[in-house]
Every structure is written in structure tokens, then in C-alpha cells.
Structure 1
Amino acid sequence: MNYSKYFNVFVIFGLIVSIDSVKNKSKKNIGSSATSSTSQSPGCFCKLFGEVDDCTCKIDSLESLNNLQVYPRLDSLLARNFFRYVKVNLMKECPFWADDSKCAMKNCAVKTCTAEQLPYGLKNADGECNKYAKEAQPESPRTAPPGEKDEDCSEPRGDLGYLNTTISKESEEAFKDWTKYDDAQETFCELDDDTSPNMQYVDLLLNPERYTGYKGESPHRIWNSIYKENCFKPAEQSGYNSQSLTEKSLEDLCLEKRVFYRMISGLHASINIHLSHQYLFPASTCYGIETWGPNNDEFQSRFDHEKTDGRGPQWLKNLYFTYLVELRALEKAAPYLEQEDYFTGDDEEDVSLKKGIKDLLRVIKEFPNHFDESRLFRGNKKEAKALKQEFREHFRNISRIMDCVGCDKCKLWGKIQVQGMGTALKILFSGDGMGPQSTVSAGSKRKFQLRRTEIVSLFNAFGRLSSSIHAVEEFRRRLS
């Protein structure tokens, strides 16, 4: 009998049993360690379940919609010329305090575009103006410039210093119409003046939102001003610190004020996710190349339950609320947006982009559980009107605070995201009514208009929220 043969078999069998035993023991240790860690700290994602606050939409259904359908479509659309080029004024002075904290780091700088780099359709200065403004408003009488014959006069204006200060009755009536029109437009933020010489085009793909190293007193001052001076708070919390509202204290606020706070908190969370997901790592000692990528520690420092006194997970949950509000705005404005030309001068590109936008809006319209804006500003008409005006003014202040950001790249994306949110609010409170069935009519240009700047900001702002929810899923995998 060949004993050596059987001996070898027993040895191999023993090794397999031993290896399996070690593996099982290791798995048990990992499992118990994970369980122990979970029991000790709820982590970052402990509130990402159930319904979005003040809504009936489930968080998991919103994640499924975004990560599987919205994000891939939107990510592709925002790379197109119409959305990647935005005209912005980064030289506006801060209206609230002296700008003494200008960021000098190279990653804070913004690369602007030359005329040669722009698509044909955007080189025309009129392309940035409201293309419906002339059609929507009565034409004012023409006054001839010096040296030309006026339609109403027999002699040309010869003196170079001449300034015609007369206003016809027709013009006075037109001014009244313009005032009524401006008041009727529920604008929630201050847009840059398209005629300003400081307006410049920026390619967003060459200036992505990511961590630049801008930190310290300046950004803290921005957010403190937003939360302390412009967010609503319970009367007894007059001395509260930024972002210190708890869910319990939020219950003391009316729905409208909770909505305002959750939207701003969700925007703040989204920006912090971008900074964590596109974090600037120091240059390698071998290659000297800076790299950006996900930073688990940075994400946890901003959202972990223990590291944020229990508030971080709620900030993360507020992101889903902000997303839901802007999602509803896109659904409501779908009839209007589907009729836009998205003109860049490239016929093939423009037709393709319009087809892609209609496909995205189709997906959004099919989603069954949107935010219901008709719940806002109910009750006593006088009180509701006053609250709505206060809501509007608070948000307009926040849009002005964006000009106080010391980092140009941070200012660029701050302005875009606040303008996009302001455009979403403008849509929600316009149209043929309020509520799930209401829309913004595509044929009502006199009552509702969007400038190209507003459309570009709306889609890019929603794109930032979409990418944040997509990044949350990645961080959840990395930290599990």
C-alpha cells in the first residue's frame, strides 16, 4: 500500500481546512468590527432613508432616478457648447464689506474665453440678451442720433453735445408696462448686467468646480452671513451660529421658512460634496503633479455624525430636498424649455441638443412624486404676500453675497448655482398656477421669459446637485 500517497492527500486536506478556518475567522472579525463601528457611530449616511423631509418622495427612489437615468443624460448634455459657455461678471465688488481676502492661489483663477474660442452663435452680443424682450414689449419711438434726420423733425441734430431728454407719451406708457413686467417676473436673484464691460465668457469644462485650497475666515464669513443674516430662524435663537438649526428647532418654523433653510443647507452640502469628491492632493514628490479625486477623510470631516455634533447626516439629507425642488422646476418649465432653440450656430449640434433635452425632460416628467409648491404661501393673503416678499428678498441678498467670495473659481460656481436655484424658484411661482398639474406655458412670452443666462444656470445648477447625489453613492461604497 502506498502510504505516502494517502499522507499527501491528508496533508493537502488539512491545509484546505486550515485556510478555510482562517478565512471564516477573518470574516467574523471583519463583520464584528464593522458592527461594532456602526454601533459606536451612525456615520454619514444614517439619515438617508425613508422620505425626503417635508415631502412624500422616498430617498431611494430619488437616488434610483438620478443615478440611473438623470445623471448620465445630464452629464452628457452639460458638455455641449450651449451649456459649457457662460457669460459672467467676476469683477463685481462685494456690496456688503470690503473685499480684503482675494485668493491668490493658482487653482482659484478662472480661464476666460477669447472670441475665437466661442461657438459662432455666441459671438454675437445680442445672443446673451433676452431674445423675447423686443417682441414682448411695445416699441419705443426712434430718436435719430446727431447728424441724422429725425423722423419727426425737418432738420438734423447738429450739436455734438445734444442730449434729448424729452419723453413722449408713448414712451411713458411703455415705461409703465416695463415696470409692471419687471414686477410680474418673480426674480429671486440679481443677474449680472449683460451690457457691463466686465462680462466675460467662461468655459465651464476648463474651470470645473473642485477643491482649490480656498479656506479659512473668508469662506466662513460668506456662509455665516448667509445663515445668520438671510436664513429664517426661530425668534428665541437670535444668537445662533451658522447651520446650527436642529430638526427640533426647524419644527418651530412655518413650512415656507423650513423650505428656504433646507434649500440653502442642501446647496451647501452639495458644494461640500464636490470639494470632497474633487479634492486637491499635494503634488507627488516623484512627479510633482497635482491630482484631484475623492477624499474619504474630507467627506467624513464634513458629514460624519460624530465630527459634526450629529448634524452632518441631516445636512446630507437636505441635499435631496434641494434636488427635488429643482427637479420640479424643470418638470413645470418643460413645455417652455422644449420650445427653446438652444442656438449656437451649429445646426446639427443644436438639433441634437434639443433632442437630448426633450429626452431628459421626458424622464423627469415620468417621475411620479414631485415637490408640490402649491403648499407654500397659503392662508391669509396679506400675510402670505408679505412672507413671499421676505422669502424673495432673503434669496436676492444671498445672490449678492456671491460677489463677496474671494476665490474666482468658487465665485463662478457659487453664482451659477445660486442663479440656477433662483431661476427654479422663479419657475415654481410663475405659469398657469401652482401645484403638480401646473406648467409654464410655452406660448406666454409676455408673462414669463428666461434669459439664456437663466437657462444655462438652471441646468448647470441642477447638474451639480445630480453629480452630488451620484458622488454620495460612491462615498457610501468607499466607506462601507
Structure 2
Amino acid sequence: MTRYTWHWILLVVTITFETVFILGDNFSSKIRDENKGCFCKLKGEIDDCSCKVETLDSLNNNKIFPRLNSLLSRNYFRYFKVNLKKVCPFWSDDSRCALKDCHVSNCPEDSVPPALVKNQKKPENKYAKKSNEDDSCEEERELGALDRTLSAESKEAFKNWTKYDESQDLFCDLDDESSADLSYVDLLLNPERYTGYKGASTRRIWRTIYEENCFKPQPTYGYEPKSFHSTKYHEPHIEDMCLEKRVFYRMVSGLHTSINTHLSARYYTPAINGFGQGVWGPNVKEFKRRFEPETTNGEGPQRLKNLYFTYLVELRAIAKAAPYLLQEEFYTGDSEEDEDVKEGIHELLHIINSFSDHFDESQLFKGNSKEALKLKEEFRNHFRNISRIMDCVGCDKCKLWGKLQINGMGTALKILFSGDTIGPQSTVNAKSKKTFQLTRTEIVTLFNAFGRLSNSIHFLEEFRAKLK
């Protein structure tokens, strides 16, 4: 070969190697980008647990989610008895959603079960004319309105429910049980989704929860959250905290993540230029805004992982209460439906009990007995405060689901620390009703709160597929 031939061969080889290098580098960059996305931490063991994310994905999406979703559509679980009129105990009502259509309309007394209208007082009119004429809130006004529709059959059934509840030897009363402002809400008519609730009031809710009621080291803050469902606080260095405080923080963070996931998955997109109707559906852009590292100071992926931690805690609570729940009547007065619900509960509990890698609550509050008792009381008081903060939420739909999920989490904690012993093999059952009892409201909130977490994990699969 001539010298020129070798020159051309060398040039072609050089170009080929450079091309391969560039393509390879682009491929590596793509891999790195994927590893830096929302889902970069959703793999391997869940923090402070031995269970893996992949295991829970399979358990939830293939076995628990479809069965639980079906159960929660039944009358026993779909009607939640709640007081949405309680006054915020921490500050005066300055909510962003102080609009008449964003709050519950008074029901005529003759349409409400007699047991619920005794001593009922009409609420004061707190809606200023200026608030009702605020055009900037038109979308919020529509999306935040609570649907209080109840069928005549349901109203009649509630009378029997009340008689049945009053005949039970209840363990304790929830805060609202004696209030005349209690009323039933149909959860199926009021799904957890985007409401447009935003502003200073929403920022105050989450800031108060994280700054004043979560155990954590002194954080460094990012920029302020833009809505009730979005916070940009840096994840604290929780590895510096004891296990109990880490558990508390991760449970709250997991709940917050679940709320954000539902709002992204059930997001309202208005009609374009007023033509046609707006649509509800998954919004990838909104999901990325809430969980991408770039928009959350790097903490979004960890928050997604905290969702799995909260799921594990509530899963363990249901497993521990299985003997008790297997004896529950799930009474609504419709014997056929009640039997179907019991059958569905039995099937669900069988699946949950067959899971072998539950959260181990026996690792909590160990060591010095006095210090452990003090920490446990502090743990309980912090949680009570968060439950009271839910009464400060200005949008009724947000308040409804916030109260339900916090009450459900509180019920889960009550179960975990009840019974003669705690730990993987411990249970609570119907034979110990003198020392342990669940009200109908507690059971309803326990399963619906767990249902929110289950739905969120199921939604993550949809977002994962859209972000590939």
C-alpha cells in the first residue's frame, strides 16, 4: 500500500473511534440522566426496613390494589363521618379558599338522620363580599366545591348505622364523635385530586407541620412551596436522628408524597379557549415539578421512597389487627353486601398476612424505660398537633382527605402500640375489647388511608412508563 492509502485508513479508523466514543458518551449521559430523575431512588431496600421497593410494587399493584379498590367502593367504606366546621385552633381563618362554593352547604334538617341534627347550630357567615367576587378564584371555586349529595336510601340506612354504633362497647371516642356538626360525606363523589388550593394559607399548613411538629435536625431551607401540596424544604439529615424520630418524619413525608402524587395523577386541564370540556388525568409536567431533583433541591426522589415506608407501616398495622378485623361485622343493614364485604376483607387480610417482610414496630421505644416513655408521649403529642392542623385547611376537599388520612395513620399507630406485646408476631383481637376497640370511623379511615397509599404506588407505575 502507498503512504496515501495508509493515511486514509488511519483517518477512517480515527473517525470511527470518535463516533463510537461520542455515541457511547451520549448513551452514558442518557443513563446518567435517568438515574438522576424522579425514580432514581425507587429501588432496593426501603430505609429502616429490610423490604425492597420492587417487592412492594409487585405486592401492591398485582394483589392488594385491585382488591382494596373494590372494597373501598362499598357503602361501609365510602361514607365518612366528619366534622368540617371545626375552627382552626392555631390561627384565625385567612384561607385562600374563603369562598362560599368551596365550603360545605348546609343540608336541610329533614334530609339528615335525626341523630346527627340534635343541637345543630347554623354556622356564622364568614364569607366577605369581596371574597365571593374575586374572579381570580373562579377555577378554585369550581374545583374545591364539595359534593354533599346523599341518596335517600343512604340517609335512611344511616339511622340504622347510628343505632348499631350506639349499641357497641366503644373503646374511645374520636374528637368529633360528640359534635352536632358531624355529617356523612360520600368519598366516591369527592375524590382526592387537584383543587387549585394555593397561597399563603397553604404554605403555612405545611410549614407548621414540618417546622414545628416533625422531629428533625435544624434544616436548611430551599424556596417556599407554591401550594398546599408542594413543599420545597430540604430533606433533613435524618440519619442523625434516632429511629423513632426518623419513623415519624418519614411517615409524614410519605403522606405528603401520596397527596402530591394524587394531585398529579388527577390533575385538571381546562378546555382550550373555552371550547369543549376540561379533562382530568395524569399531568407529567406537574409530577416532575413536585418530584424531579432539579425542582425539589434534590429531595424529590427520597420523598417518593418515603411513600413506601408509610405504606409498610400502615400495612403492618392492618396485619396486626387482622384477628380483630376478621370478627368485625362491617354492618350497614344490607346483609348481602355486608357478607360480600366480610368475604373481601378476609381475602385481603389473607394476602397481607402471607407477606413475610413487615415493618417491625418492636424496634421502637427501646432502651431506658423513662426516656422511651417520654419519647413516646412526645411522638403522640406531635401527631395530635398535626391532626389539629388539618382543621386549618381552607379547602373542604383538601380538609376532608387530610383529616381522613391523618386519622387513618393515627389509627395505624394506635394498633401498632396496642396489645400485650409489639413486634412482627403480635396481634390484637376481638377477645381483648376491654383493652382495645376500633370504632367504625377508625376502621373506615384506616382502610381509606391505606387505600390512598396503595393508589399512589399504583400511579407511580403510570408515571414511570410516561417518563421512559
Superposed pair shares fold, TM > 0.5: yes
- Supply the distance in 2 between the matched residues of 1:343 and 1:435 (Cα, whole angstroms): 30
Q: State the Cα deviation string for residues 110-163 of structure 1 (Å, max 9, x = none).
A: 1224472416542236358465327xxxxxxxxxxxxxxxxxxxxxxxxxxxxx
CA pair 445-113 structure 1, distance change in 2 beyond 3 A: farther
Structure-1 residue corresponding to 2:32 = 39
- Supply the distance in 2 between the matched residues of 1:282 and 1:423 (Cα, whole angstroms): 38
Specify the code of the residue in structure 2 equivalent to 1:75.
N
- Supply the distance in 2 between the matched residues of 1:226 and 1:378 (Cα, whole angstroms): 26
Specify the code of the residue in structure 1 equivalent to 2:191.
P
- Supply the distance in 2 between the matched residues of 1:308 and 1:126 (Cα, whole angstroms): 46
Residue 101, structure 1, aligned to residue 84, structure 2? no
CA pair 265-89 structure 1, distance change in 2 beyond 3 A: same
- Supply the distance in 1 between the matched residues of 2:429 and 2:322 (Cα, whole angstroms): 9
- Structure 1 unmatched ranges of 5 or more: 1-28, 135-180, 183-189
Q: State the Cα deviation string for residues 180-216 of structure 1 (Å, max 9, x = none).
A: x76xxxxxxx934223221111100000000011112
- Supply the distance in 2 between the matched residues of 1:354 and 1:207 (Cα, whole angstroms): 25
Of 205, 208, 211, 2:191 maps to 208
Of 48, 59, 69, 1:65 maps to 59
- Supply the distance in 1 between the matched residues of 2:164 and 2:147 (Cα, whole angstroms): 20
CA pair 355-474 structure 1, distance change in 2 beyond 3 A: same
Specify the code of the residue in structure 1 equivalent to 2:160.
N
Specify the code of the residue in structure 2 equivalent to 1:476.
R
Structure 2 counterpart SS, 1:201: strand
- Tell me, yes or no, if the aligned pair for 2:232 and 2:297 is still in contact at 8 Å: no
CA pair 30-303 structure 1, distance change in 2 beyond 3 A: farther
- Supply the distance in 1 between the matched residues of 2:159 and 2:462 (Cα, whole angstroms): 39
Structure-2 residue corresponding to 1:24 = none
Specify the code of the residue in structure 1 equivalent to 2:29.
S
Structure-1 residue corresponding to 2:287 = 299
Specify the code of the residue in structure 2 equivalent to 1:298.
E
- Tell me, yes or no, if the aligned pair for 1:113 and 1:201 is still in contact at 8 Å: no
Structure 1 counterpart SS, 2:346: helix
CA pair 431-420 structure 1, distance change in 2 beyond 3 A: same
- Supply the distance in 2 between the matched residues of 1:379 and 1:321 (Cα, whole angstroms): 23
Residue 263, structure 1, aligned to residue 254, structure 2? no
Structure-2 residue corresponding to 1:475 = 463
Specify the code of the residue in structure 1 equivalent to 2:190.
N
Of 370, 385, 392, 2:380 maps to 392
Structure-2 residue corresponding to 1:362 = 350
- Structure 2 unmatched ranges of 5 or more: 1-21, 100-140, 223-230
Structure-2 residue corresponding to 1:320 = 308
Q: CA deviation at 1:308?
A: 1.1
Q: State the Cα deviation string for residues 359-386 of structure 1 (Å, max 9, x = none).
A: 0000000001000000000000000000
Structure-1 residue corresponding to 2:129 = none
CA pair 409-280 structure 1, distance change in 2 beyond 3 A: same
- Tell me, yes or no, if the aligned pair for 1:338 and 1:357 is still in contact at 8 Å: yes
- Supply the distance in 2 between the matched residues of 1:303 and 1:371 (Cα, whole angstroms): 25
- Tell me, yes or no, if the aligned pair for 1:128 and 1:451 is still in contact at 8 Å: no
**Larger Rg: 1 or 2?**
1
List aligned pairs for 1:72-151, cutoff 5 A: 72-103=66-97, 104=99, 105-114=141-150, 116-118=152-154, 120-124=156-160, 126-127=162-163, 129=165, 131-133=167-169
Structure 2 counterpart SS, 1:123: helix
Residue 344, structure 1, aligned to residue 336, structure 2? no
CA pair 306-34 structure 1, distance change in 2 beyond 3 A: farther
Q: CA deviation at 1:36?
A: 2.9
How many residues are paired up? 397
Structure-2 residue corresponding to 1:419 = 407
Q: CA deviation at 1:441?
A: 1.8
- Supply the distance in 1 between the matched residues of 2:24 and 2:148 (Cα, whole angstroms): 52
Structure 2 counterpart SS, 1:353: helix
Of 364, 374, 379, 2:362 maps to 374
Q: State the Cα deviation string for residues 58-116 of structure 1 (Å, max 9, x = none).
A: 11001100000000000100000100011111111100001111513121121224472
- Tell me, yes or no, if the aligned pair for 1:130 and 1:452 is still in contact at 8 Å: no
CA pair 289-123 structure 1, distance change in 2 beyond 3 A: farther
Residue 193, structure 1, aligned to residue 186, structure 2? no
Structure-1 residue corresponding to 2:208 = 225
Structure-1 residue corresponding to 2:112 = none
Identity %: 61
Structure 2 counterpart SS, 1:124: helix
* TM-score, length-scaled by structure 2: 0.80
- Supply the distance in 2 between the matched residues of 1:473 and 1:353 (Cα, whole angstroms): 28
Structure 2 counterpart SS, 1:437: coil
Specify the code of the residue in structure 2 equivalent to 1:233.
K
- Supply the distance in 1 between the matched residues of 2:315 and 2:369 (Cα, whole angstroms): 27
- Supply the distance in 1 between the matched residues of 2:275 and 2:234 (Cα, whole angstroms): 45
Specify the code of the residue in structure 1 equivalent to 2:416.
L
* TM-score, length-scaled by structure 1: 0.78
Structure-2 residue corresponding to 1:162 = none
- Supply the distance in 1 between the matched residues of 2:372 and 2:347 (Cα, whole angstroms): 37
Structure-2 residue corresponding to 1:51 = 45
- Supply the distance in 1 between the matched residues of 2:28 and 2:390 (Cα, whole angstroms): 43
- Tell me, yes or no, if the aligned pair for 1:122 and 1:128 is still in contact at 8 Å: no
CA pair 128-474 structure 1, distance change in 2 beyond 3 A: farther
Q: State the Cα deviation string for residues 287-333 of structure 1 (Å, max 9, x = none).
A: 44121100000000000112211100000000000000000000000
Q: State the Cα deviation string for residues 244-288 of structure 1 (Å, max 9, x = none).
A: 4546x1111000000000000000000000000000111243644
Specify the code of the residue in structure 2 equivalent to 1:56.
S
**What's the C-alpha RMSD, in Å, of the aligned pairs?**
2.3
